Structure 1
Amino acid sequence: MKYIKKIAVSSALAASLFMVSCQENFLDVVPTDRVSDASILSDSVLFEAYVLNRYMGTRLTDKEAEGTNPGFGRGFEYAMWSSLTDESIYNNDDNTWLIQRGQIAPENTGIAGTLWGRSYRSIREINYALANLEQVPMSEGKKRSLRGELQFLRAFRYHDLIRNYGSVVLMGDKVTEISDDLTSPDLFKRSDIKAGIDYVSAQLDEAIALLPASNDNNNWKLGRATKGAAMALKSRILLYGASPLYNNAATWAQAAAAAKAVMDLNKYTLYTGGYGNLFTSNDNSEIIFGRLYAIGARHVCLEIANGPNSYNAWGGNVPLQNLVDDYEMKDGTRITDANTTYDAKNPYLNRDPRFYATILYNGATYRNSTIETFTPGGKDSKDGPSNWNTSKTGYYMKKFMNDNLPIDNPWDVAGTQTWIYFRYAEILLNYAEAQNEASGPDATVHAAINAVRQRTGVNMPILPAGLTQAQMRERIHNERRIELAFEEHRFYDVRRWKTAPVKENVPAYGIEITKSGTNYVYTRKEALTGKSFVEKQYWLPIPRAEIQASNNQLTQNQGY
């Protein structure tokens, strides 16, 4: 985050506070790399810095987001969450293929193994701050806003736990200590999903009442919680809770009302500067809450991590044909429709404009050149330079990439894009889905989804009148797939809808393009063998080490 560079608090603080409080009498030597409890609680600046560090986390595994920003949400890590879905695969595996192939286990969680431990570590740190906030010398107004931030942060952590594991342990305000009875069953009792959803929703209601409408300081504008951020999180968690997987943990009416509350703020609007530019502008009216980055801070440089091999890039998260096929034609027909305008000999012609802003394909213009994934001889195929980074799918990622940032030697220069946690288009789609399920495809449902489709620079046709609830549901599902591609929604959407057994059991397809004279022959291929989804994968397994650390009192998710 931009502001983290301005905070003179050790990134080891999160780990050291617990150790300092437990070992203060062990030695009379004051460590130079740690800040004591007393210092933090007696200094309002240090205490606020401690709160701000809760927007971060500890890097617990290789290839997570580097430098100043690991651990709070994911986004912009080498292997993105999209590469655990039918959106993309990670070209060089990095512990993603086992999840794609349905081989995840408590002993082998791939890149998905740090969520449980990191989240509870953060919850303890937040509880520590909440327990001691009142004794910090600062104004009541400042305490009020910091309390709201901490409750938002705790709610965000629980939302991440719930959407990955289902039922979770609700710690309340408890700050665990080594002196506690760590064998107590109460410490490891998992509440049902509804209790978790209710708790998060209640925490967010309290946070909404305390948080400011906006952050006036530009350095903090998007990177700290606001009322809108808390309301957006409430919209998402209630949408999840109303979904089939969550077994009526919330109602569709509640989810629709939560999304409508964000809309009624009249604070956020759809970005009008072009769909692709939305993700590189860093600050615009559509972003509700995001992670800010700063030049000079070491973190993942998207362009080299994901770009094509002929540009000396690594071809990281490469889109699947499965996703490409779901983009509509510019006239609104789908490629499988009887009246489609799709031409199999020119498959990338006249597609939804969001396709061109999201995916690099054979013939796409890129950095004053043209993408060539064909063989023989295509510079972005296996016949090109750095061919060990050639896309296994025949596509490369375009979304999030800033063509003005360098690919060669990008360190400490590139990777400056804001990672968006919540944006207004998601809220509109949340509302459309929830309202359709609650009341059917009324005029407000059409208005919400059509606003997304007709944003400036996209201008897709409005949906036809007369759709049934089931037909509208199908259109909303696909609209989320296209509009929110690679933004860490697909993994959770197909699970909560319980469509994953169908969607995630389709082979991971790519495209093989053979050039013959001036013509191209397109042949579908299997880019990653063995793609599989089984029912237990609706939820992640709790890592075996966490079960063992609880003396086997923590129950495992079914099937593992």
Structure 2
Amino acid sequence: MRNLLYTILLGLSVHLTGCGDYLDVVPKNDIQTIETIFEKREDAYHWLRSCYIMLTPHIAEFLNNPAFLGADEIVAGEYCRQKIGPGGLFIGDGLQMAQAPYGVMWHKNEAYGAIRYINIFFEKIGNVYNMEDSEKKLWTAELKALKAHFYFELMRRYGPIILVPENIDPNASLDEMKQPRRPIDEVVNAIVDLCDEAIEDLPYLKEKPSTRITYHSKESAATLKAMTLLYAASPLLNGNKMFANFLNKNGERLFPDYDKEKWRKAAEAADEAIKICEAAGKTLVTGNTDRPTKLLNIMKDIEDSALAPDYKNSEAIFYVRNTSGGPCGYILPFFAGEGEGADCYDPHSIGCLGASMKMVEMFYTEHGVPISEDKQWVVAKYSMGRESDEKYTNVLNLNTEILGLHRRREPRFYANIGADRTLWYRMQKSGSEQKYVAQEICAYQGELYGTKITRIDNNTPQNLSGYWIKKYLRSNITFYYYTSRDNTEKGGIIFRLPDLYLASSEAWNEYLDAPDNRVYDPLNKIRERAGILNVQEAWKNYARNPDKVNTKLGMREIIQQEWNIEFAFEGRRFWNLRRWMTAPEELNTPQYGWNVLGSTAETFYHNYDGPIVVWSKRKFNVPRDYFFPIQSEEVLMSECKQNLGW
């Protein structure tokens, strides 16, 4: 803190390598100071841009954001852990540590460094001589929303955090610098206040020039406010008895008693954010017509909902510039470069991540209810059968043997999961031409989509579960050199419209004594796009327990499953299981799949006895793992209270 400018410039040099060469703006034969930086518009803009760049790795990059790999959605073996390195996979295995935490944000060169830079911007932006006041107001609003976003990310990782309304003088005493963690309610109010101030001065995303579309807009700030209030109302932060006696170093209680009204505030904030998004022209991605069947067109809508090539996505509310390349190289199936599969070969494919059996079974049946609830589902899960319904043309091979689990499932299953003996409708290289084909996913050992060796090998890329992940892979690009062809600049989507629909549905359900249309309507908008019946009709006509849809507890389970399905593999489940406080039941179980070394249907499907354990090193320690540890060195220096269990 005493060498603030040096710390800022050093931090920027670390974070901005290859991102604009911020330090190159130092005047010739002179020394750059904060005052000279905030003389000219160009330099002030570099400062603002630098603050946004510091957020990106923590929320958008597949390998850096532990939420993508730290839950139970994705299965990876030792090979993948060695290739990817420590991070989300290690957190899922229960290997998080306080000495050098994975996914650290609480650090002077991470979130708190960015917050210091933002505060300096607020102090100095008025000094820039070649800017209009209206532009200064806009940039200030963009950074108010960004500061709120850093607080939000810190809160859901660490719970109560240290607030920095303004920077402490570098000449202040050490005692003044050692600030205590603030109660959750104060943290939430600080985020909400910043969002409210930002919303007033921010334009809609559609009104922003292309150079500013990855900075916060009116609708993204409103969404951030709504999501903050949803977290504040959730069991982890609202009446958490496990943390009831957790105090800061001043003896102040950090977690509040339960307050039902927080659910109402969350619901109203979500509804208001939806109105703002609708005024901004946001709509669910829907209406694709270029595929030969209705089901394939619905699947294409679902595929496109999570992608933003050239930053184009009608339901994306906030996205950032993501330069990490995303997950494609890790989920793209690994094909040999010679013989069979040569037309699918990509030299950058690692193909070592698979979908867990839990997620495979999470998706609904074609009737829009869970497998265990569907009284008319025509098949047994783990036996073979034949599909004859022509609506599954180019999705399933008709009248051929296929596992029951892969039949008569909802469109989101087929859009997100590549299952054995299903068809993957996509662009394919065919000699020197390209055309759409429905390629069969043959996943037994030795087959095109299966492992090519006869053992589990830590030195070889292998899909351990037997299920491929389709999300993030664009079906209009061939697998042949996919990572090179998928070269359109794309946004890393942080919030999209279904976040708000589900937040509204969940919050109203928790606030009301019994669900009504405030619960059902937003949920049904998502289900309509997904190509399934509305929730009341589906449960009334097809569920074994039709009354479940009429109760608060029943709808709670339904809404939570809808979160898991709609945002499969997008990193939401990691945080939701924590805020719902259901993580111990979900994350302490092994991960299941099929015997990928099996070369026949009988051996691959474990003699039809059900799935097998494919990864057993899973651990969620209560209460320790509800929050990340603050790095031990930071605790010693700042004397702030460490999280429980660390």
TM-score scaled by length of structure 1? 0.85
What aligned pairs does 1:22-171 form with structure 2 within 5 A after superposition? Answer: 36-57=33-54, 70-77=56-63, 81-91=67-77, 92-93=80-81, 94-95=85-86, 96-110=88-102, 112-114=103-105, 116-117=107-108, 118-137=110-129, 138-171=131-164
What aligned pairs does 1:127-526 form with structure 2 within 5 A after superposition? Answer: 127-137=119-129, 138-174=131-167, 177=170, 179-181=171-173, 183-184=174-175, 187-220=178-211, 222-248=213-239, 251-265=262-276, 266-267=278-279, 268-272=282-286, 273=288, 274-282=301-309, 283-292=312-321, 299-300=324-325, 302-310=327-335, 311-312=345-346, 313-337=349-373, 339=375, 341=377, 342-344=379-381, 345=383, 346=403, 347-366=405-424, 368=428, 369-375=439-445, 377-383=446-452, 388-403=460-475, 404=477, 408=481, 410=483, 414=487, 416-439=489-512, 440-455=514-529, 458-463=531-536, 464=539, 467-512=550-595, 514-516=598-600, 521-522=605-606, 523-526=610-613
Q: Check the 8 A contact 1:215/1:224 in 2, yes or no.
A: no
Provide the rounded CA distance (Å) in 2 between the counterparts of 1:517 and 1:507: 23
Provide the rounded CA distance (Å) in 2 between the counterparts of 1:371 and 1:78: 30
Provide the rounded CA distance (Å) in 2 between the counterparts of 1:140 and 1:185: 34
Q: CA deviation at 1:452?
A: 0.5
Provide the rounded CA distance (Å) in 2 between the counterparts of 1:176 and 1:453: 53
Q: Check the 8 A contact 1:17/1:37 in 2, yes or no.
A: no
CA gap of 1:412–1:106, structure 2 versus 1, over 3 A, is farther
The residue number in structure 2 matching 1:4 is: none
Which range moved further: 167-176 or 78-87? 78-87
Q: CA deviation at 1:35?
A: 5.3
One-letter code of the match for 2:219? Answer: G
Provide the rounded CA distance (Å) in 2 between the counterparts of 1:79 and 1:233: 18
Provide the rounded CA distance (Å) in 1 between the counterparts of 2:372 and 2:232: 32
Q: Check the 8 A contact 1:215/1:221 in 2, yes or no.
A: no
Q: Check the 8 A contact 2:168/2:177 in 1, yes or no.
A: no
Provide the rounded CA distance (Å) in 2 between the counterparts of 1:158 and 1:78: 18
One-letter code of the match for 1:105? Answer: M
Superposed CA deviations along residues 479-517 of structure 1, whole A, max 9, x for unmatched, are 000001122211111111111111112222222254537
The residue number in structure 1 matching 2:392 is: none
Q: CA deviation at 1:257?
A: 0.6
Which range moved further: 420-429 or 98-107? 98-107
One-letter code of the match for 2:210? Answer: N
Q: Check the 8 A contact 2:70/2:90 in 1, yes or no.
A: no
Q: Which runs of 5+ in 1 are unaligned?
A: 1-10, 19-28, 58-68
Between the aligned residues of both structures, percent identity stands at 25
Superposed CA deviations along residues 87-144 of structure 1, whole A, max 9, x for unmatched, are 113441222443222232202423x234545111111111111111111222111111
One-letter code of the match for 1:497? Answer: W
Q: Check the 8 A contact 2:284/2:305 in 1, yes or no.
A: no
Q: CA deviation at 1:194?
A: 1.3
Q: CA deviation at 1:299?
A: 3.0
Provide the rounded CA distance (Å) in 2 between the counterparts of 1:185 and 1:527: 52
CA gap of 1:211–1:17, structure 2 versus 1, over 3 A, is farther
One-letter code of the match for 1:164? Answer: R
Equivalent residues, number? 518
TM-score scaled by length of structure 2? 0.74
The alignment partner of 1:89 has SS state of strand
Q: Check the 8 A contact 1:83/1:317 in 2, yes or no.
A: no
